[in-house]
């Protein structure tokens, strides 16, 4: 048995097929509703037990980049089940 499953997948938005959504899901511990609104903040670490792993800046950097591009990045999570991180990419006609 594997320790878990991580999936990377891309799909079109249900309502607007100019919007591509890219998601990464895991079957990990999930994020508590209290922590969820804060996880894109600098140095915010929900999982204090594993707080020594990362720098606490990865999601803040991702958020900053997506905001500058005018795209969305968000997370859905259920404790004990896992999390899904998603960002949007809006297709635009190529500029010659």
Question: Which of residues 5 and 47 has its CB atom nearest to another protein in the complex?
Answer: 5
Q: Closest separation between CB of residue 74 and another protein, Å?
A: 18
Distances, alpha carbon 45 to alpha carbons 27, 83, 96, in Å:
19, 15, 44
Q: Closest separation between CB of residue 32 and another protein, Å?
A: 22
Question: Which of residues 3 and 34 has its CB atom nearest to another protein in the complex?
Answer: 3
Residue 32 corresponds to which tokens in the numbers above?
A: 């508590």
Question: Which of residues 42 and 81 has its CB atom nearest to another protein in the complex?
Answer: 42
> Which residues form the interface with another protein (CB under 8 A)?
2-12, 20, 22, 42-43, 52, 55-58, 60-61, 64-65, 68-69, 89, 92, 94
Q: Closest separation between CB of residue 27 and another protein, Å?
A: 9
Contacts of 17 (CB under 8 A, 6+ apart): none
b/e for 11-36, b at 16 or more Cβ within 10 A?
A: eeeeeeeebbeeeebbebbbbeeeeb
């Amino acid at each position: 048995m594997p320790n878990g499953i991580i999936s990377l997948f891309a799909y079109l938005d249900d309502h607007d097929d100019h919007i591509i959504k890219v998601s990464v899901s895991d079957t990990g511990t999930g994020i508590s509703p209290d922590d969820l609104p804060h996880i894109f903040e600098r140095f915010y670490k929900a999982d204090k037990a594993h707080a020594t792993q990362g720098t606490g800046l990865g999601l803040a950097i991702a958020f900053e980049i997506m905001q500058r591009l005018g795209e969305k990045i968000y997370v859905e999570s259920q404790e004990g089940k896992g999390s899904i991180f998603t960002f949007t990419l809006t297709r635009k006609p190529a500029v010659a």
